[in-house]
Every structure is written in C-alpha cells, then in structure tokens.
Structure 1
Amino acid sequence: MSSTDTIDYEAEYNNRARVPEHAQLMAGWARDAAAYREQKAPRRLAYGPGPRHIIDLFEADGDGALVVFIHGGYWQALDGSSFSHCARGLNAHGVTVAVPTYDLCPQVTIDTIIGQMRGAARELAKLGRPLVVSGHSAGGHLAACLLATDWRAFDPSVSRDLVRAAYAISGLFELEPLVGTFVNKAVGMDAASARAASPLFWAAPAGKSLDAVVGGNESAEYLRQSRVIADRWGAAGVATRYDEVAGANHFTAIAPLADPGSAMVLRLKQLADR
C-alpha cells in the first residue's frame, strides 16, 4: 500500500464527488431496474430471517452456471432492487441471474456482510448449479471474498467448487486505504479488521478464475486495486484478467450488463457456460 503522504485517499475513493452527475445515474439505475421487473418478475428467495436477507432470482432457460450480481454502496447504502436490469443482458442468453441484498453498516460489520453473502450462496447452492459471482464496487469485494471462501469449512454440506469464477467490477480488494476516509464513518474498521477483510491478503483461490474490471475513467486507486489483485492472485495460480471499460466512470462501468451484445455480458456467459 502506498504512503498516505503521497495519496489523497479521501479524493481517490469519493466517487460521488468525482462524478457530479452521479445522482442522475443512480436514479437511472432505479428506473431501469423497476422497468425490468415489470417485464420479468423475479422469484424471491429468502436466505435468512431479516427483511434484507432476500435474493431476486431472474430465471432463464439455460443449464450452465448461475450468475450472481452483488450490489455496491460502500457496504452502507443501496439494495438489490436498484440493479434488476443488470440481469437483462445475461437473461437474453438464457443465463439465470441472482441479485441478493444484505444488511448495511453501521448496523452490521463488513465481516457480517461477508457471512450473509456466503449464506446467500449456500441458499443458491440448493438449485444444484455452480455459481459465477459478479459484483460492483463493494459488491466486487464481496465477489472476490466468495471466490476465495473455503466452502467446506463454512458448511460441509456445500461443494468446495460452488463458486467457480468471480467477475468484479470496480472492486475493492485492499480495505486499509479506506480506514482514514469518509467511508469508514459507517463501516468502522481499524487497520487490523480492514486487512482481515481484504481478499487481496487471503489465500488465493488457485485453479479458479477472477476477472478484475474497472472503468477506464476511474481514480488511480480503483485502477490499482484491480491491477494488484489480478497480478497477485494470478501469480498464485488463479486465472486472472484485468480489463478496463473504456470511457466509463464508477457509475457507468456496470452499464454493459444490460446489453446482451456487450463484451462484459459475453464474457460472463463464457464463464457460466464452461
């Protein structure tokens, strides 16, 4: 990690300040998501007792892996209902997409959220298909965490190969830079807990696949986060790819998910089919 003397982490990670039109873009997510639910109503699954312990399952007729999309919001905002349209592109190719919601900081910790997403994956395992886990921003962090989870240790009834690949968009894999920023007011990490929740420092899931994708116009820190995990996990036996969405900022980087012909959707379909 670079010195705080030379990097303004507050500016690097404040995506809303970097993208003045973020409010309109986020309103567009909610509008597009609601329109897609009108077109294709999801099946709702519960993975726990709380009102946010739900999964919207957008079913399709293919028989490959199921793709999960985990939303972002720095572990403290949003829910899956703003991202239903992210299933559109894959559904058009016959790929089923699951969009889970989780509890938020400061009501819970990041460790709790990681556990909740493991619980959601365990619930999806009952459908009898492997998972490709995608996610955006904090959801990219959670996708990497699920890829690197020892599933037999978590639950001996779950296959160790439950999650075969992760596709992290604008992900966060090293959390220590966030400790001194606005993000941590709700998240409440210290240096030790931030490092413990950083998949960059976990045992790399050798033999599995990670795509680390980031908007080409995102901050240097977001670009670094994706490059570093691709390099480090790649050197440890993970099939990694680093890619940039040309011209995209933090909020537009996920837009290709709604387009059946986008390179992002075709790559996720490839991961689901293999």
Structure 2
Amino acid sequence: MDLQAEYDNRARVPEHPAIIAGWQHDAVAFRDSWPETELGIPYGAGERERIDLFRPGPGDAWPVALFLHGGYWQALDRGFFSHLARGFLAQGVALAVPSYDLCPQVTLARIVDQVRAAATLLHRRLGRKMLATGHSAGGHLTAMLMATDWRALDPGLPPDLVAAGLPISGVFELEPLLPTTIGAGLHLSREDARALSPRTLPSPGLPLHAVVGGAESGEFRRQTRDFAAAWGGTAEELPGADHFTVLAPLAEPGSALARRAAAMALAIR
C-alpha cells in the first residue's frame, strides 16, 4: 500500500487551497456578523491557547459543543472555522472553537494536553458537559478527549466531561503515518504512535458517531469504520465528499450532519 498517497489529502484534492481560502473568508464574515460572540478566551498562557465561543443568545444556559480543527496537527487555527457555528446555533447549541500549538514546535502529547485544558476551562466556565467534534487531526483529538480519565486530572471533574463524540475524517491509528511526509513532522516513535492512537485505547462507552467522506482514501474510510466498530459507535460515509468538502454540511443548519451534531449535544445531561 502507498501510505503517502492514502494519507496525503492535499495531494489527493488539488483544489484544496481554494476550499481552505473559502473557509477563512466565511469564518471572518461570520465572526463579524454574529452578535453573541466572545473571542480569544484564554485556557492557558500560550499565544495559541485561546477559545472563540459562539452562543445562540445571551447568557450561558446553552448546551455546548467543542470543535477541534484539523491540519495534521501542523497547520491552521481556530480562525478558519468560526462559520461552522451556524449549524449548531440554529438549533440552540453553543460552539467553542479553540486553537492549539502545532507540531513540530510541540509534541502531539502536548497538543492532547492542551485540548484537555480547553475542555476543562469550558466546563468550569459554563458548568456543562459537552459534545466534542473535530475534523481530521481534530477527529483524533475528539477521540482522545472521549478517552480521557478526567477524574485523574482533577477529582472535581465529571468522569464524562466530554460526554459524546462526532469525529469527522479522523485519524485513529497513527502508525501508518510514520513513513509519510505527514509523520515526519510529528517526530513520533512507534511506542508514542501506539499510545496516542485512540484505536488502541479502551472504549469509554460514550455515544460516538464517526463520519468520513465517501470520496476519501480507502485508508481514511477503513480507519473510520474500524474505530467506530471498536468503540461500539456508528459510522457514516457522506457520498461524494472528499477530505475537505466533508466538513461543509456542519455549517448548514438544515443538513443531516448539523442536525445530528446538535441532537448529540442537546442529549447531554
């Protein structure tokens, strides 16, 4: 198997620069237009340790979802994804979008710690458990949050602080990345890759729905199927969607994906 071809999504989708530029344009326009927005909430001391929070209306009495961006842990930030809040807000769910530091400046284990800190800050601020969702690398981070032993981090936290997950085009087994150009920037040993692979971790027994594009590589589709089966969740392929267009329905309030995401967040008590 040509693992480089299977996992190099930018090479597989030559039009990706225009898609990513579209995300950025839409995100800026949304931030400028939505009144119930709080930008740059710190969850740590670092420059990128910030969260943007979008509420359906005044106050904090809203179900909440946490969206984790992709970029193979090496690119992008929260500022490209603000517009995804539209699909949540229309159904009464707040969306929080954090940035995190990037590899190789930090380790992947450090990024996992950062998103845990972001989720902890949201819980302490809003007093709510949450749905985690994320795209690509963010799908991996979604699963890592679901697998977290929150009581080990702080006995005062609920064990199901992240109470459900909806990873989109995630990577749940990291070892196949090691011989690729993507893996080169992660500086993972095989032992690190196994330890940070959700597929190798015990299922937390939480609601899980994993999504992947029907036009994505065989490996991405296999990983989604295998991970969902291992954790007792459900899996879905979006027909005709590639690794980048798979994210579009999340920003559309009437889409099946946006409705499912909001329903998962609304079901959390």
- Cα RMSD over matched residues? 1.1
Asked if 1:43 is matched to 2:38, the reply is: yes
CA distance in 1, matches of 2:122, 2:19: 30
User: What CA deviation, in whole Å up to 9, does each residue of 1:47-73 have, x standing for no partner?
Assistant: 000110000000114845311110000
CA distance in 1, matches of 2:174, 2:243: 17
Give the superposition deviation at 1:141: 0.2
Q: 1:28 aligns with which of 15, 22, 27?
A: 22
Q: Which residue of 2 aligns with 1:226?
A: 224
- Stretches of structure 2 that go unaligned for 5 or more consecutive residues are none
Counterparts of 1:72-221 in structure 2, within 5 Å, are 72-126=70-124, 127-206=126-205, 208-221=206-219
Q: Which residue of 2 aligns with 1:3?
A: none
User: What CA deviation, in whole Å up to 9, does each residue of 1:192-211 have, x standing for no partner?
Assistant: 111110011112102x1111
Is the 8 Å Cα contact of residues 64 and 272 (structure 1) preserved in structure 2?
no
Q: Which residue of 2 aligns with 1:54?
A: 50
Letter in 2 for 1:8: D
Q: Which residue of 1 aligns with 2:10?
A: 16
Q: Which residue of 2 aligns with 1:266?
A: 259
CA distance in 2, matches of 1:53, 1:40: 22
Give the superposition deviation at 1:107: 0.6
Give the superposition deviation at 1:130: 1.1
Q: Number of paired residues?
A: 262
Is the 8 Å Cα contact of residues 148 and 199 (structure 1) preserved in structure 2?
yes
Is the 8 Å Cα contact of residues 215 and 244 (structure 1) preserved in structure 2?
yes
CA distance in 2, matches of 1:96, 1:64: 6
CA distance in 1, matches of 2:141, 2:13: 23
CA distance in 1, matches of 2:108, 2:63: 27
User: What CA deviation, in whole Å up to 9, does each residue of 1:129-180 have, x standing for no partner?
Assistant: 1100000000000000001111001222211121110000000100000001
Q: Percent identity?
A: 52
CA distance in 2, matches of 1:162, 1:96: 16
Bigger Cα displacement from structure 2, 100-109 vs 185-194 = 185-194
List structure 1 segments (4+ residues) > 2 angstroms apart after TM superposition. Answer: 61-65
CA distance in 2, matches of 1:224, 1:56: 33
CA distance in 2, matches of 1:19, 1:185: 21
